[in-house]
């Protein structure tokens, strides 16, 4: 499964090389914005980031909704693993 994570552009690092810095939930990384070149991206815009590339521009409401879903998915995944770890089939002969 591939996930695109919302990030907010906090800096255009190198406009000629199409590099920007995004903040994803408090973690900042340099990414390529080349796939969105010519779209007028600027500091403050939200983008969907996948493997170091901005794939699309999104609005803040969509970014927040996506981040909430990712957080829930993470909690659901952890809860499911814990339930699996703590469950056991009784194989005692009857």
Percent of the chain with pLDDT over 70: 81
The CATH architecture assigned to 5-86 reads Roll (2.30)
State yes or no: pLDDT of 77 exceeds 70.
no
Tell me: the pLDDT tens digits for 13-35?
999 999 999 998 888 899 999 99
Residues contacting 38, CB < 8 A, separation 6+: none
Q: What share of the chain is helix, strand, coil (3-state, %, to 5)?
A: 30, 35, 35
pTM of the model: 0.77
């Amino acid at each position: 499964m591939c996930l695109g994570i919302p990030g907010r552009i906090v800096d255009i690092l190198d406009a000629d090389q199409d590099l920007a810095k995004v903040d994803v939930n408090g973690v900042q990384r340099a990414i390529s914005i080349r796939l969105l070149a010519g779209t007028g991206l600027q500091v403050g815009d939200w983008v969907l980031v996948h493997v170091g590339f901005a794939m699309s521009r999104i609005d803040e409401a969509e970014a927040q909704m996506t981040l909430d879903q990712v957080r829930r998915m993470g909690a659901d995944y952890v809860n499911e693993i814990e339930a699996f770890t703590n469950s056991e089939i009784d194989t005692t002969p009857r």
